[in-house]
Amino acid sequence: MDSSSLINCEMENQGQKRRYEDNQEISIYDYYSDSAQIETLEFQRLKEENEAFRKENQMLKDSEWKLKESLKCYELMADRSCCSGTNLEKDEQIENLKKEMEELKSAFWKSLAEQIRMKKDLEESEETRKDAERAILMLHEQLAKERARSASLEQELEEEIEDLVEKLEKSDEALKEVNKKMKELEDSSYRFKNRQVKRKLFKEMDDALEFGDDEEEEEVKKKIKIMDILFENRGSDDEL
């Protein structure tokens, strides 16, 4: 695998990891956001119900006060009636008013108990909402830390990739330099070997001219021509 393929592979893995972490962050954030929204709606509903009970309680208090005032008037009238004689109709009205007052008192205490329950539910809902807000805040802080850690890891990975690319480039340059030196050494060795062969053939030519006949001379000339051809084509002198 060359340096460009290695870099592409690392960057692709990094991108997949980032997409996976982002998807996880979005799903967790949506979960807590939906929970907080539900708690807010519940809190608003309980608040509206509590307001309705408060108004009803005030109406009951007003009715109770009116009944008390009416009862005082009827009792006063009853006292006056006793002085003048028994008034059965007034007594009956007073008893009815007393019963109505007791019923209103009972309704008042029931309403008060319901308001206390609603207040408790409202406080619990408020505490739940605060817990959800704290959880979301903690989640934001955690996500910020994760993003910072991810950015740090990404920076380290980029630096490692840059170091690796630099090392690969240096390795490629060193390899090219070695190949160049080997080529120079090979050329030098080949030229040296051909000079030795050429000196050998010229010595044979001198011997053929001095001691040999025409046939030996032609044979040596033929070898010299073959050597020139081989030298141009970088062939082996084993053919001579």
Average of per-residue pLDDT values in the chain: 73
pLDDT at 225 (0 to 100): 81
Provide the 3-class DSSP secondary structure of residue 156: helix
Which residue did the predictor score with more confidence, 169 or 216?
169
Could you tell me if 205 and 224 are in contact, meaning their C-beta atoms sit under 8 angstroms apart? yes
- Digit-coded pLDDT (tens) for 21-62: 555 554 544 544 555 566 667 667 777 776 776 776 677 677
pTM of structure: 0.34
- Burial category of 43 from C-beta neighbours within 10 Å (exposed 0-12, middle 13-18, buried 19 and up): middle
Predicted confidence (pLDDT) per residue in 56-102, tens digit:
667 767 766 766 776 666 566 555 555 444 567 777 877 887 787 78
Nearest to 91 by CA among 79, 100, 78: 78
- Counting every residue written for the chain, the total comes to 240
Higher pLDDT, 46 or 178: 178
Over 60: is that where the pLDDT of 13 sits? Answer: no
pLDDT digits (tens, 9 = 90+) for 136-153: 889 889 888 888 888 888
113: its two tokens:
């108990």
Mean pLDDT of 108-131: 81
d(CA 163, CA 114): 72
Q: What is the mean pLDDT of residues 169-197?
A: 84
CA–CA separation, 185 and 179 (whole Å): 10
User: What is the tens place of the pLDDT at every residue in 185-199?
Assistant: 888 887 888 788 878
